[in-house]
Amino acid sequence: MGLDGDNEDVSDSEGLSRRPSEASLCATEEEEEEASLELGPKCSIKEHLEKDKDDESLRRWKEQLLGSVDVNSVGETLEPDVKILSLAILCPGRHDIVLQIPEGANPKGVWFTLKEGTHYRLRFSIQVNNNIVSGLRYTNTVWKTGLKVDSSKEMLGTFSPQAEPYIHEMPEETTPSGMFARGSYSAKTKFIDDDNKCYLEINYTFGIQKEWAN
C-alpha cells in the first residue's frame, strides 16, 4: 500500500507495505512463481463438524474456530463470502486515514498521500460469511514511472464466518525519504485465499511528499 525504507533510491528499496466487490478468480505474479498446492475438496461447516466428531480434542478445536456460527443458516454453503469493507492507514500523532473501497474497486485520482519518512500501519476490516476462508493473504505490487519498485505479500490467516467484521492490523512500516522517493506511484492490491480465489483487486495511485498536505 505504501513504501517502506530509508534509501533515497526508490528502485533499490524493499518492503512496500503490505477492503465490497464481487469475488473473482485471479492470480498474482508471485503466485505464478510458486508451486501449486493440492487442496482437498471443500466442505460445508456442517460437514466440518461431522468429520472426526469422535475425536474430542479435534471437536473442541473446531468449536473454538467456528465460535458462535449459526450452523443452521450457513451449514450447507461451500463457498465463503469475503468482503474487504475498508482500509485504514494509521500514523502516530495524526488522524487515521480511512479509505473506503469505491464501487468498481478502482479509486479515481490519487487515493492518499503520505509524508516521506512516516511510520505507519495498515488496518483492514474484513467481513466473512457462509463458510471458513482458508489462508487469506494480502499481496501488493507498486510501480513508479512504469518500473516495478516493490512486490510484497502477507498471510492474514484463516477466518470463520461471524456477524462482526474482523480487524487485522499489519506490522509497522516506514515510507522512504529523499528526493527520489517523492512523487506519484501506482499500485495493485489483492486479497486471495488458498484456492487462489480473489475477493478484491484494487488498482490505485498514491503519493509521497516532503511534508503533509494541509
Please determine, for residue 199, whether its predicted confidence score (pLDDT) is greater than 60: yes
Which three cell numbers mark 22? Answer: 464481487
CA dihedral over 185, 190, 196, 198, signed as positive or negative:
negative
Per-residue pLDDT band at 1 (split at 50, 70, 90): low
Domain assignments of the chain as residue spans, ordered by start: 10-34+79-209, 43-78
Residues β-bridged to residue 190: 139, 201
Please give the mean pLDDT across all residues of the chain: 78
Please determine, for residue 21, whether its predicted confidence score (pLDDT) is greater than 70: no
Distances (CA, A) of 87 to 83, 107, 114, 131, 159: 12, 13, 15, 23, 18
Which pLDDT does position 6 carry in this prediction? 47
The CA distance from 147 to 211, in Å, is: 24
Residue 205 gets which letter from DSSP? E
Which pLDDT does position 39 carry in this prediction? 46
CATH topology of domain 10-34+79-209: Coagulation Factor XIII; Chain A, domain 1 (2.70.50)
